[in-house]
Amino acid sequence: MTENLLSPAQAAEIAGCHKDTIRRAVHFGLLKAQKVGRVFAISPEHLNEWIAVGMPNHRRKSTRKVKIEEQSLSDKEISEEP
């Protein structure tokens, strides 16, 4: 059964992201994984589901919020110019 499981590094290589992104997604419950000893193991099926929904992670929400706030600030500056 453990032959099918992936380490965070292997999952990151398949998903095309950093292994910390995988670990963060597991930590926040966005990617299902099981703990084998001290390491998390991810099934390929759960990894594919996570990729299919757009690889959500905890940091993306705050990054988008900052970009939106920056954009709204720049829009205000443009509208305030005479």
What's the CATH code of the domain at 28? 1.10.1660
Residue 43, pLDDT score = 95
pLDDT in tens, 41-79: 999 999 999 999 888 776 655 444 555 555 555 555 555
Distance separating alpha carbons of residues 46 and 32, to the nearest angstrom: 6
Residue 63, pLDDT score = 47
pLDDT in tens, 3-37: 689 999 999 999 999 999 999 999 888 899 999 99
Tokens of 31: 């990617």
Please count the structural domains in the chain.
Answer: 1
Q: Are 45 and 14 in contact (CB under 8 A)?
A: no
For 10, the domain range is 2-80
Q: Are 6 and 36 in contact (CB under 8 A)?
A: no
Distance separating alpha carbons of residues 82 and 79, to the nearest angstrom: 8
Q: CB 55: neighbour CB atoms within 10 A?
A: 17
pLDDT in tens, 51-60: 998 887 766 5
